[in-house]
Amino acid sequence: MLGFALFTWNDIAYNNKSLPPGTIGWPIFGQTIEFCKQGPNFMKNQRTRYGNFFKSHLLGCPTIVSMDAEVNEYILNNEAKGLVPGYPQSMLDILGKFNIAAVHGAAHKHMRGALLSMISPTMIKEQLFPKMDEFMRSHLSNWDSCNVIDIQQKTKEMALFSSLKQIGGFASSSIVQEFRTEFFKLVLGTLSLPINLPTTNYHRGFQARKNIIKLLRKIIEDRRASKEIQQDMLGSMMNINGEAKNRFKLTDEEIIDQIITIIYSGYETVSTTSMMAVKYLHDHPTALEELRKEHLAIREKKSLEDPIDYNDYTAMKFTRAVIFETNRLATIVNGVLRKTTQDMELNGYIIPKGWRIYVYTRELNYDPQIYPDPYTFNPWRWLEKSLEYQSSFLIFGGGTRLCPGKELGVAEISTFLHYFVTRYRWEEVGGDELVKFPRVEAPNGLWVKVSAY
């Protein structure tokens, strides 16, 4: 009886003519199991049956999947009409109420403005790039002294420690180690179901958030007591606080959530792109040779231990192409999530309030009209046409929430690659499995044998 009632309810609730075509699947569970099992093929099959705009029920929510270029542009540019970020509750809870995905309207403009002022091209050039370079030079030392290294682990540490260096100049290993332990728990918590029991990852993630807050609060208080203004992101945020007239004045609570947001947003994107770039370069010696040529030309003008600077970074055209091609081919980000705050018309249909909208960009990456021979790793394609500036380029999102960390992320990966390819050769040990969906990862690590170049 209960099953029958649920099916009837499902039918009435979702088989409404004003909704787009598609299937909803099982009551409550929807199509989550098929989606998780089939991965990208699930989306491809539904698209073949129902077109670029269809309904489904995924991860506990009725969902519209959009692969339509025009509709996507509309969705990404019309947050004010009620299309706000639709990320899972665990993520919003653990990243904090001032985290950028949790705020909309004027509050979003404020947090985003504060962030953009800290990572503008001038700030990257003058303050952040020298820190990044100093960190990479030291982090990438003596990798050839170990027999084999797990490049996944190394790139994860690189992304986290590099952010910590830029945010607060944290080099003290006790702060970094404490942060690292808590941060890994926090990340797991954001990816779990929001069930608050002592044994759940959600609970541990929440506890980790509390410990991180305690750590950051103490650092802020110490800095305030010392009255020293430091040239790093935290220094900029605290200095902003000191200037009463500044448009981007932040409270301590906002500063803390902003720091967590910066580290969280750049962590997996930067580390996974770096790992996959190492993988693709290993598998494509001609691309590696071209990349190395670019970096050796930069080194030729310097002595062995000289840093590189922002001008060197802007000259790394092929490296930039390798980073975009890696992101495209591996699809580091499958798409972005929005939700409706009211019933609304979209693409000729009425989408009810509270539905999730999945702007699924993965398929764009393999569209042969945009990227001929799309399954081939071909960084040169980015040099021939200005693909980066076309509307189909959604690797860093688009519209009002276009990734503010794009240039910072690309600079970080470029600096990592600079020291990696000019210092080392590497050979994969072999046998490692790579999973591409829903996240790109090497479940048992990606092991490489490194020797001096």
Residue list for the binding site: 403
C-beta closer to ligand HEM: residue 21 or 113: 113
Instruction: Report how far residue 438's alpha carbon sits from residue 415's, in angstroms, rounded to the nearest whole number.
Output: 28
Binder of ligand HEM out of 31, 32, 63, 273 (CB under 6 A): 273
Q: Tell me the two tokens of residue 289.
A: 């040779």
Binder of ligand HEM out of 396, 419, 420, 447 (CB under 6 A): 396
Question: Using an 8 Å Cβ cutoff, are 351 and 357 in contact?
Answer: yes
C-beta closer to ligand HEM: residue 178 or 407: 407
Closest approach, Cβ 323 to ligand HEM, in A, equals: 7
Candidates 20-28, 52-60, 171-179, 262-270: pick the segment binding ligand HEM (CB under 6 A): 262-270
Binder of ligand HEM out of 408, 421, 442, 446 (CB under 6 A): 408
Question: Any contact of residue 274 with ligand HEM (CB under 6 A)?
Answer: no
Task: Indicate the angle between helix axes 233-242 and 151-168, nearest 10 degrees.
Answer: 30
Question: Using an 8 Å Cβ cutoff, are 18 and 344 in contact?
Answer: no
Binder of ligand HEM out of 62, 168, 266, 379 (CB under 6 A): 266
Q: What is the distance in angstroms between the CA of the first residue and the CA of the last residue of the chain?
A: 70
Query: What CA–CA distances, in Å, run from 159 to 21, 101, 272, 329?
Result: 42, 21, 9, 21
C-beta closer to ligand HEM: residue 34 or 325: 325
Query: What CA–CA distances, in Å, run from 442 to 276, 344, 391, 432?
Result: 10, 41, 31, 7
The per-residue b/e assignment along 62-86, b for 16 or more CB within 10 angstroms, e otherwise, is bbbbbbbeebbebbbeebeebbbbb
Closest approach, Cβ 13 to ligand HEM, in A, equals: 27
Question: Any contact of residue 190 with ligand HEM (CB under 6 A)?
Answer: no
Closest approach, Cβ 28 to ligand HEM, in A, equals: 26
Question: Any contact of residue 414 with ligand HEM (CB under 6 A)?
Answer: no
Closest approach, Cβ 415 to ligand HEM, in A, equals: 12
C-beta closer to ligand HEM: residue 262 or 450: 262
Task: List, in order, residues 6 or more apart from 89 with CB less than 8 Å away.
Answer: 194
Task: List, in order, residues 6 or more apart from 427 with CB less than 8 Å away.
Answer: 282, 448, 449
Report the phi/psi class of residue 301: left, alpha or beta, with left for phi > 0 and alpha for psi in -120 to 50: alpha
The per-residue b/e assignment along 212-240, b for 16 or more CB within 10 angstroms, e otherwise, is bbeebeebbeebeeeeeeeebbbbbbbeb
Distance of CA 20 to the CA centre of its chain: 30
Binder of ligand HEM out of 94, 140, 256, 332 (CB under 6 A): 332
Question: Any contact of residue 270 with ligand HEM (CB under 6 A)?
Answer: yes
Closest approach, Cβ 73 to ligand HEM, in A, equals: 13
Candidates 173-181, 269-277, 367-375, 436-444: pick the segment binding ligand HEM (CB under 6 A): 269-277
Question: Any contact of residue 85 with ligand HEM (CB under 6 A)?
Answer: yes
Instruction: Report how far residue 162's alpha carbon sits from residue 132's, in angstroms, rounded to the nearest whole number.
Output: 6
- Comparing every residue's Cβ against ligand HEM, the nearest one is 405
Question: Any contact of residue 86 with ligand HEM (CB under 6 A)?
Answer: no
Binder of ligand HEM out of 333, 364, 440, 442 (CB under 6 A): 333
Q: How many CB atoms lie within 10 A of CB 283?
A: 11
- What is the 3-state composition of the chain as percent helix, strand, coil, each rounded to the nearest 5? 60, 10, 30
Question: Any contact of residue 397 with ligand HEM (CB under 6 A)?
Answer: yes
Binding site feature residues for heme: 403
Question: Any contact of residue 169 with ligand HEM (CB under 6 A)?
Answer: no
Binding mask 105-134 for ligand HEM (x = CB under 6 A): -------x--x---x---------------
Question: In terms of C-beta density within 10 A (0-12 exposed, 13-18 middle, 19 or more buried), how is residue 8 classed?
Answer: exposed
Q: Tell me the two tokens of residue 373.
A: 């021979």
Closest approach, Cβ 395 to ligand HEM, in A, equals: 6
C-beta closer to ligand HEM: residue 19 or 260: 260
C-beta closer to ligand HEM: residue 204 or 338: 338
Binder of ligand HEM out of 83, 260, 336, 357 (CB under 6 A): 336
Question: Using an 8 Å Cβ cutoff, are 261 and 296 in contact?
Answer: no
Question: Any contact of residue 411 with ligand HEM (CB under 6 A)?
Answer: no
Q: Evaluate the CA torsion angle 58, 62, 66, 72 in order and state its sign.
A: negative
Candidates 43-51, 170-178, 265-273, 286-294: pick the segment binding ligand HEM (CB under 6 A): 265-273
Write down the H helix ranges in 315-405: 317-330, 381-384
Q: Please report, as a single letter, which amino acid is at residue 77.
A: N
C-beta closer to ligand HEM: residue 154 or 401: 401
Give the footprint of ligand HEM on this chain (CB under 6 A).
Answer: 85, 100-101, 112, 115, 119, 261-262, 265-266, 269-270, 273, 327, 332-333, 336, 395-397, 401, 403-405, 408-409
